[in-house]
Amino acid sequence: MVEDLITNVLDTWLDPAASLRLRDIAADDRITELEFQFPIAELKPASLSAILAISEVHSNSAEGLGFEPIRGLMHGFIDLVVRRAGRFYIVDYKSNRLGDRLAAYEREGLRAAIRHHRYGLQYLIYTLVLHRFLGQRLPGYDYSTHFGGVYYLFLRGMRPRLGPDCGIWYERPPWRLIAALDRLFATGQAAEGP
């Protein structure tokens, strides 16, 4: 069973063009468990919500989220970063059981899981991390040119015969949102100053 699951994950095309699957990623085109730390100037629920409102897709990602203002370091790990055709992608593995049928791992089931577990907020943070990482290391880095997007792989739903239509959530967050999050974490300001 475990062998089948791993084979399914490695052999499933992640994109409709059938140009990206994990089995084909060479060792020098991937970073496994990319650890990150970055400072947070100040983060408040209201300022985070204001930034997320920039994107209709993410406007409710902080809904109901309450916390005291935060200052300090954000620390974590990105499961996998891959490079393919000059673009960099975030890959995160999810083992959630969404149901007993493959239909539970289609777009609407994944959308519900992304919302329920706040994975959208998680991958926005991961996108910011990779944006900063590439900006420091890749000469001539440009988000629109070099950032390919985020893949959340719901392992139990992936099947090579179904390709990206089952078990795979993909998004490429808009640059405007990532730039605003970058500013928020760096300065604590939800909007640009005068």
143: confidence class by pLDDT, cuts 50, 70, 90: very high
For residues 121 and 60, the model is more confident at 121
The residue with tokens 């209709």 is 56
Residue 192 has pLDDT above 60, yes or no: no
Overall number of domains in the chain: 1
13 part of a folded domain: yes
Phi, psi torsion values for 36, nearest 5 degrees: -140, 155
Instruction: Give the mean pLDDT of the chain.
Output: 93
Whether 178 and 127 have beta carbons less than 8 Å apart is answered as yes
Instruction: Report d(CA 58, CA 20) in Å as an integer.
Output: 26
177 part of a folded domain: yes
Mean pLDDT of 141-161: 96
Catalytic amino acids? Answer: 92
What is the extent of the structural domain holding 109?
A: 2-187
117 part of a folded domain: yes
Q: What CATH number does residue 115 fall under?
A: 3.90.320.10
